[in-house]
A and B are shown apart, each in its own frame.
Chain A
Amino acid sequence: MSPELRWQRACRLTLALGLVLALAVAGYMTLGAVGKWSFVLSYRGEKLLTILLVAWTVPAATVLFHVISRNPILTPSIMGFDTLFVLIQTLAVFLLGSATVSAWPPQLVFLGELAVMVVFASLLFHWLFSRIAQSLELLLLVGIVFGVLFRSVSGLLQRLIDPSEFLIVQDRMFASFSGAEPQVLTMSAGLVGVATLWAIWRLPAIDAMVLGRDAALAIGVPHRRLTAEVFLIVTLLVAASTALVGPITFFGLLVANVAYRLLPGAPLRLTLPLAGLLGAALLVAAQVVLERVLGFAGTVGIVIEFLGGLIFILLLIERAR
């Protein structure tokens, strides 16, 4: 595919998706509104902001993760990040009780969760890179094992705690696009902004990582350091989105792979915005159709994850052939 053709297609896709997104946003803000407009718009605006933020964060994290893992059917959640999040939540409620936890300022909780996740990711990365061979496969495998461990520990704790406390934990465990608190939203937005700027700054070098370690080193890309940087960027992005709406597994995979199909072999400066736009159009449109038109409140996360799961299975089948 020639660069000109690719550019043309990217422009057309951006235009079409932008239109869909604009329509979906208009529908989201106005459909089924009851009461004063000023209240409706500001209330819904906040939710919309959450959705848009997640729609950018999750696909971006997934695409960047694909670059360093060189495998387009993985997702960052395979590293156990979201199960760690669930574990933190469960542990906090188990040890301190939900009353104490909900009394804490949300900013503090957010920063605490973020710190734990970043520390975990960096420890995992550095420990593995210094101790064992520089193998990402091994890193992924260890991530999966940690994921299972975190899930089992959370599962055990959730059985031990008071049923009413369990409800509170459970409420935070499933992706929901309505639960974010304004303070958390602001902090997440800042965090995502920093991570995004960082990624943009390093984007040409990150692009060169598709060559693999040896060829990337041969053209002067500091492969190992860059892998660590991208790993950290992905961690920040996943932490932000998990803190906002809870764990999301397949949404990023869905959007990223559709973007790869639409612009095969495109550099990240085209793939990333396209994935973000696709994600935003999909999430907002799903909200409008499912919640406003069909009246199924709170099902968007489930439906999107279902679609993403289907794509995941299709990708596996396609690879097996």
Chain B
Amino acid sequence: MIRVENLGKSYAGQWVVDLPELELPRGGLTAIIGPNGAGKSTLLSMIARLQSPDRGVVTLDGQDILRIPGDTLARRLTVLRQDNAMAARLTVSDLVGFGRYPYSKGRLTGEDHAKIEESLALVELQPYRHRFLDELSGGQRQRAFIAMVLAQDTEYALFDEPLNSLDIRHAVSVMQLLRRAAEELGKTVVTVLHDLNFAARHSDRIIAMKNGQLQFAGPPHQVIRTVALRDLYGIDLNVSRTDGKLMVDIYG
């Protein structure tokens, strides 16, 4: 379980994250929604130790996250950030191989190679394994990074808008992949999502944030409601049910 206590981060005197208490229970898929600037990415960054909070603590299964050694933490929790602008001169399989670094420290074993293959297969990138990242489309590159996270095989995996720049087919398949990771592999998946329908359909819990604060949280059928979402985003939208499935119509 990831627990956040009194967590705060401020820029120029303004709290971009201000969370007295928040729990992300073990297992399942948690979606974090909210408008831009709500503090979603900052929250993920602080949980994954990419940014240090100005106050408060994050605990992972009861342990203060700052006291866990880096390589131990990397075997239990990982994060995929939004902007992965990076050295393009890296092949897909090399990139995915870095996901095994916490285990093998750069010397890939047979088990590592098996994991790499498995991850490449899950994101359907085997034919592109020897391509350089700058020879891929945006969607393929995104899937390559997701494969790296899968190869890292951590119990907790945080994703910051993983569906960015994916077409419909791959967005659905990545979402199903995260779903399977949670369901079949028993991982705890926490992901920032902008598409409310993906959040409604595939998550077990939804956390809504605005202005750095928690607005509401709960299972989709409790929080995907017209009034609550209108208030959260400040736009006119409608939630309906088709065949018992929630649909959010945001298109005005």
Contacts and interface: CB of A to CB of B under 8 A. Distances in A.
A199 interface: no
A203 B90 CA distance: 17
B98 A208 contact: yes
Given A208-B101, A211-B98, A215-B81, A222 B70 contact: yes
A221 B106 CA distance: 11
B78 interface: yes
Secondary structure class of chain B's binding surface, majority of residues: mixed
Contacts of A213: 50
Contacts, number: 82
Nearest to B79: A218
Contacts of B99: 219
Interface in A216-258: 217-222
Contacts of B91: 1-2, 265
Contacts of B195: none
A158 B152 CA distance: 58
Contacts of B81: 214-215, 218
A217 B130 contact: no
Contacts of A2: 91, 129-130
A210 B106 contact: no
B27 interface: no
B80 interface: yes
Contacts of B85: 212
A306 to B, nearest CB: 27
A204 interface: yes
Interface residues of A, number: 26
Contacts of B49: 217
Nearest to A206: B106
A219 B90 CA distance: 16
A221 B105 CA distance: 10
Contacts of A222: 70
A46 interface: no
Contacts of B75: 220
B220 to A, nearest CB: 28
Interface string B97-119: 01101100111000000000000
A70 B98 CA distance: 17
15 contacts: A204-B101, A205-B105, A205-B106, A208-B106, A210-B86, A211-B95, A211-B98, A214-B45, A214-B50, A215-B81, A218-B78, A218-B81, A219-B78, A219-B102, A220-B73
User: 3 tightest A-B contacts by CB?
Assistant: A204-B106, A220-B74, A220-B71
Interface of B: 45, 48-50, 70-75, 78-81, 84-87, 89-91, 93-95, 98-99, 101-102, 105-107, 129-130, 132, 145, 148, 152
Interface of A: 1-3, 5, 70, 203-205, 207-208, 210-215, 217-222, 260, 264-265, 267
